[in-house]
Structure 1
Amino acid sequence: MGLEDQRDVETDVYQPAEDSHLLADAACDDLADADEGSLVLEVGTGSGYVAGRIDDETPARVIAADLNPHAVRQAREAGLEAVRADLVAPFADGALDAVVFNPPYLPTDPDNEWDDWMEQALSGGEDGRAVIDPFLAEVGRVLAPDGSVYLLVSSLTGVDDVVEEAGEHGFSAAAVADESFPFETLTVLELFR
């Protein structure tokens, strides 16, 4: 990797943090007994950390997707099957057994937003749900009938609001993991129909 490529990774690709570890742990625990050949998509893969953990620790076939071309390149370099995609748009109806997503969830004042890849990886808009709500509206289309979604949500975003929005799209929700920090609580929701 050249110096320019390294700069792209450091400044343009979300690297694993507490939220990534929590989501990977929860998804791997729940998917450990998945059928061989189950198809799992990680939306917004960033560095590919979560997809890599699922690929290593479960029998599922994993696809890592991100809108950010730098993230797709990093995930491919990590040996993952990675594609450039906006949420779930290019995936076939009913094709996925599970979808895993650590969305941009930080509430952000529109006057303080920047137009770069890292900002897109972090900013959830004014209410923190600018990416979550469109995802919830679309993800049901690509899930197999008994498929699940593993969605990381912050208390800053409003877990109850996300659960309510998921319900409007036909999902039930259960909290499968959470971790508290001084400024927020992170929760992994499993969404199912």
Structure 2
Amino acid sequence: MGLEDRRDLETDVYQPAEDSHLLASAVLEHLSVDETDLVLEVGTGSGYVAGRIDAETDARVVAADLNPHAVRQARTDGLEAVRADLVSPFADEAFDAVVFNPPYLPTDPDNEWDDWMERALSGGEDGRAVIDPFLEGVGRVLATGGVVYLLVSSLTGVDEVAAQAGEAGFSAVSVADESFPFETLTILALYR
């Protein structure tokens, strides 16, 4: 990979941060899978979370992102990666677990800019512009008995997201959280 390609990844792909580490740790602590299980990470960004799951479990892991630079980085790092808008291209009931660190920062539409990093961060005015359609569609690709691990910020409204998950047919359980100066991050496990 050339210097210019690396620069693209640094400016166009969400790299691991506190939220990535919390999500990976929570998933690895709570996920029970074997070599026949299939795990999907939606919005993989750098591929950090998918890479940890791939390295530390026997499951087959698929990393997906709308950002072509993120897909390229995940593939370069040895992950099975596909370009996808949320869960739209995947088969019904294909995954035993789905993991998602969505764009969740509430953003004033007048202050948004149009690039890949903005898409990785901005959750629209209420922080749920990507979370809500994800919750509406993820049940279709989840196998019977499967689980969704979703990272949610207090800036987005954990109770509001849990209520939306309930409307989509899930029960939500908090399995991890961590407080930072401006927000608390919570990992919700969603079950049908």
TM class by shorter-chain length? over 0.9
Amino acid at match of 1:12: D
Equivalent position of 2:87 in the other structure: 88
Deviations 1:134-179 (A, max 9, x none): 0000000000010100000000000000000000000000000000
**Structure 1 position 45, deviation (Å):** 0.2
Amino acid at match of 1:111: D
CA distance in 2, matches of 1:24, 1:179: 13
Equivalent position of 1:150 in the other structure: 149
Look up the SS of the partner of 2:165 in the other structure: helix
**Structure 1 position 119, deviation (Å):** 0.1
Equivalent position of 2:105 in the other structure: 106
Amino acid at match of 2:132: D
What is the TM-score when the length of structure 2 is the normalising length?
0.99
Structure 1 portions without partners, runs of 5+: none
**Structure 1 position 187, deviation (Å):** 0.2
Equivalent position of 1:55 in the other structure: 54
CA distance in 2, matches of 1:153, 1:8: 27
Equivalent position of 1:122 in the other structure: 121
Structure 2 portions without partners, runs of 5+: none
Q: Does the CA contact (< 8 Å) of 2:65 and 2:83 recur in 1?
A: yes
Amino acid at match of 1:22: L
**Structure 1 position 121, deviation (Å):** 0.1
Equivalent position of 2:184 in the other structure: 185
**Structure 1 position 35, deviation (Å):** 2.2
Amino acid at match of 2:149: Y
Aligned residues between the structures: 192
**Structure 1 position 58, deviation (Å):** 1.0
Root-mean-square deviation (Å): 0.6
CA distance in 1, matches of 2:8, 2:152: 27
CA distance in 2, matches of 1:182, 1:58: 33
What is the TM-score when the length of structure 1 is the normalising length?
0.98
Look up the SS of the partner of 1:99 in the other structure: strand
CA distance in 1, matches of 2:132, 2:55: 30
Equivalent position of 2:15 in the other structure: 15
**Structure 1 position 14, deviation (Å):** 0.1
Correspondence list, 1:7-46, <5 A: 7-31=7-31, 33-46=32-45
CA distance in 2, matches of 1:17, 1:168: 30
Moved over 4 A (4+): none
Look up the SS of the partner of 1:134 in the other structure: helix
CA distance in 2, matches of 1:159, 1:58: 28
CA distance in 2, matches of 1:135, 1:167: 13
Equivalent position of 2:140 in the other structure: 141
CA distance in 1, matches of 2:74, 2:173: 29
Amino acid at match of 2:76: E
Equivalent position of 2:75 in the other structure: 76
